[in-house]
């Protein structure tokens, strides 16, 4: 199976990866000739970043569920794995989804570059390059050189580009390079208006394209001409005004322009990337808390992150021919944006263009319907309904088991939070009425009703589950849960809600 290595950089990288995980969990698959295994690598110096922790946890649960039930069950139908799982010989790297940045924790940037050991001319140069002020994790104003990097680069890509350059010498990069095959692809997720993403994207891209010149790695032959896609999120959210914070909304555009100017020569200008997606939103909505990183940086999910995750799907749907590279340069570089049919502050499924609507409406609704049943009705059905009592049983023991209690429940709780956060955000994405009755689950959709078609409620849901499970064989209760609910939710949503498959 071909692999897609995804480098998710910074807070936006983690949040886009979270959106992608939700899409893949719902059963959305790229319409491509080849199956891809996803290998996410999160790059963020800010280890206590709540967005990173939430995404790691989510990926961990996805991995556990998919490993337990296998592929071909609808939900969780794309393999996601950690880089270390690809390593067969020696396991030198950690089994997490996060790239372990060395010497960042509790280290001042000044110490990282051995500023005190530099000669005077070099010190003077460093002073010029890294002049200015920032804040530390105790919210005190410090010189840029004195910044402690365990809360990230606090919107300073000049620091990020130095620190992230260690990536090329890391064990993770070596393993990635030696496991990279000709049919594999790379996707880089970053934002352009902060510190970590803006610096990380060109740094990682350059290290991949220059792999031939890297003496530390083996098996680099395919890397130079790797098919590389990237999404760069342009300013898309608003933050609270805080004069004491180094993060100011007014700087977003300036930083974006500066980064784009740099990309003009080093990313797009030299055809380094095969397919680049620019995703942005100029809607000035509900401001996020101004947290440079010391408060854990937990930002609500945003529709732009979902749109960015769709870029990954779109990249996988792009044919090999369109992503051809010669000598480390894309032959026909592609640049894309994302648009919706209706300009609205609160996006619904019907506001998407046709292809996007067809791609995600049914599957996302299926996962929402699955979550609704498990949240609100499963306890009433277990050991009572025929589908639950059919072998292998979905009984109270199964519900108490860690697969359901931890992996599935936690994943679906995160899914609910993700939907709610997107819904509360402005611009919002609120396709579902999560707290409503079953028949009004999907916004703007009325249930098909008639004399012979019954009510859409949990009893009907149970009926459909029992009908689908009748005569079927499942390898385990875990597989049954995932497969049965995928088939049933698909049936309900197509027949009762009129969604198209």
Partner 1 sequence: MKEFFASLYEWFGLIPLYSRDMGDQLRGWDITCTDYIATPWYVYIGWIMIILTGFIYALQYHILDSSRWNKKRHWWIFALLIIALNFLIAFAIPFNTLQAGDFCNQLNLTVSDCIGFGISNALWSFILFLIISSIPLIRRFSTNCRHTTFWKP
The site for partner 1 (CB under 8 A) is made up of 381, 383-386, 389-390, 459, 462-463, 466-467, 470
Is 361:348 a contact under the CB 8 Å cutoff?
no
CB atoms inside a 10 Å sphere around CB 250: 7
DSSP string of 134-181, one letter each residue? EE-TTS-EEEGGG-BTBTB-TT-HHHHHHHGGGGGGSHHHHHHHHT--
Q: What dihedral angle (degrees, nearest 10) is formed by the CA atoms of 112, 114, 115, 119?
A: -150
CB of 388 to partner 1, least distance (A): 8
Nearest-angstrom CA–CA distance, 47 and 152: 8
Closer to partner 1 by Cβ: residue 77 or 466: 466
Nearer to partner 1, 291 or 385 (CB): 385
- Looking at beta carbons only, is 51 or 385 nearer to partner 1? 385
- Please tell me the distance from the alpha carbon of residue 458 to that of residue 463, in angstroms, as a whole number: 8
Find the shortest distance in angstroms from Cβ 385 to partner 1.
6
* Beta carbon of residue 467, minimum distance to partner 1 (angstroms, whole number): 5
- Quote the CA–CA distance of 212 and 471 in Å, as a whole number: 56
Query: What are the helix (H) ranges across 217-318?
Result: 249-266, 303-317
Q: Which is nearer to partner 1, 427 or 464 (CB)?
A: 464
Q: How far is the CB of 465 from partner 1 (least distance, A)?
A: 9
Q: How far is the CB of 382 from partner 1 (least distance, A)?
A: 9
Three-class SS of residue 289?
coil
Q: How far is the CB of 399 from partner 1 (least distance, A)?
A: 15
**Least distance to partner 1 from the beta carbon of 439, Å?**
16
Q: How near is the Cβ of 336 to partner 1 at its closest, in Å?
A: 47
Closest to partner 1 by CB, 305 or 462: 462
Rounded CA-CA distance 109/129 in Å is 12
Helix (H, G, I), strand (E, B) or coil at 141: strand
Rounded to an integer, what distance in angstroms lies between the CA atom of residue 19 and that of residue 170?
Answer: 27
Nearest to 327 by CA among 212, 419, 236, 404: 212
Smallest distance, partner 1 to C-beta of residue 493, A: 19
Cis peptide before 320 (omega within 30 of 0): no
Nearer to partner 1, 361 or 466 (CB): 466
| Residue 307 tokens, joined | 């749109």
Sign of CA dihedral 142, 145, 149, 153: positive
Q: Which is nearer to partner 1, 236 or 373 (CB)?
A: 373
Give whichever of 258 and 459 is closer to partner 1, judged by the CB atom: 459
Output phi, psi for 232, to 5 deg.
Answer: -120, 115
Helix segments in 40-112, DSSP class H = 50-69, 109-112
Q: Which is nearer to partner 1, 403 or 461 (CB)?
A: 461
Dihedral angle of Cα 375, 376, 379, 381, to the nearest 10 degrees:
-120
Q: Specify the DSSP class assigned to residue 102.
A: T
């Amino acid at each position: 199976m071909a692999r897609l290595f995804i480098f998710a950089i910074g807070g936006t990288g983690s949040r886009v990866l979270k959106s992608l995980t939700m899409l893949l969990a719902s059963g959305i698959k790229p319409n491509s000739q080849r199956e891809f295994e996803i290998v996410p690598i999160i790059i963020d110096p800010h280890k206590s970043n709540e967005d990173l922790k939430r995404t790691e946890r989510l990926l961990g649960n996805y991995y556990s569920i998919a490993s337990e039930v296998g592929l071909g069950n609808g939900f969780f139908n794309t393999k996601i794995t950690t880089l270390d799982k690809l390593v067969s010989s020696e396991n030198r790297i950690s089994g997490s989804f996060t790239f372990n940045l060395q010497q960042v924790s509790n280290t001042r940037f000044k110490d990282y570059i051995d500023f005190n050991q530099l000669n005077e001319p070099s010190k003077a140069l460093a002073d010029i390059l890294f002049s200015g002020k920032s804040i530390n994790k105790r919210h005190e104003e410090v010189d840029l050189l004195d910044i402690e990097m365990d809360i990230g680069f606090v919107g300073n890509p000049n620091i990020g580009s130095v620190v992230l350059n260690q990536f090329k010498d890391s064990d993770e990069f070596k393993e990635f390079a030696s496991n990279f095959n000709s049919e594999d692809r790379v996707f880089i997720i970053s934002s352009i208006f902060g510190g970590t993403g803006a610096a990380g994207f060109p740094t990682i891209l350059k290290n991949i394209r220059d792999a031939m010149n890297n003496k530390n790695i083996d098996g680099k032959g395919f890397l130079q001409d790797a098919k590389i896609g990237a999404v760069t999120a342009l300013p898309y959210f608003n933050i609270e005004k805080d004069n004491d914070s180094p993060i100011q909304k007014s700087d977003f555009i300036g930083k974006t322009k500066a980064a784009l100017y740099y990309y003009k020569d080093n990313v797009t200008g030299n055809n380094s990337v095969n397919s680049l997606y620019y995703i942005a939103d100029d809607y000035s909505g509900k401001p996020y808390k101004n947290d440079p990183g010391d408060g854990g940086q937990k930002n609500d999910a945003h529709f732009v992150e979902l749109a960015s995750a769709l870029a990954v799907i779109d990249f996988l749907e792009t044919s090999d021919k369109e992503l051809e590279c010669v000598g480390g340069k894309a032959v026909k570089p592609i640049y894309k944006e994302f648009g919706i049919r209706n300009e609205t502050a609160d996006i619904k499924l019907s506001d998407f263009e046709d292809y996007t609507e067809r791609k995600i409406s049914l599957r996302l609704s299926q996962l929402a319907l699955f979550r609704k049943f498990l949240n609100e009705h499963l306890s009433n059905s277990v050991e009572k309904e025929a589908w639950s009592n059919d072998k292998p049983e979905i009984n109270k023991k199964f519900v108490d088991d860690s697969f359901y209690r931890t992996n599935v429940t936690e994943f679906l709780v995160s899914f609910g939070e993700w939907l709610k956060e997107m819904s509360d955000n402005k611009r919002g994405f609120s396709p579902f009425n999560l707290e409503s009755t079953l028949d009004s689950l999907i916004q703007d959709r009325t249930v098909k009703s008639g004399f012979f078609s019954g009510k859409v409620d949990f009893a009907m849901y149970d009926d459909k589950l029992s009908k689908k499970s009748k005569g079927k064989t499942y390898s385990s209760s875990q597989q049954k849960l995932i497969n049965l609910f995928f088939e049933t939710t698909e049936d309900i949503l197509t027949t009762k809600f009129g969604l198209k498959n």
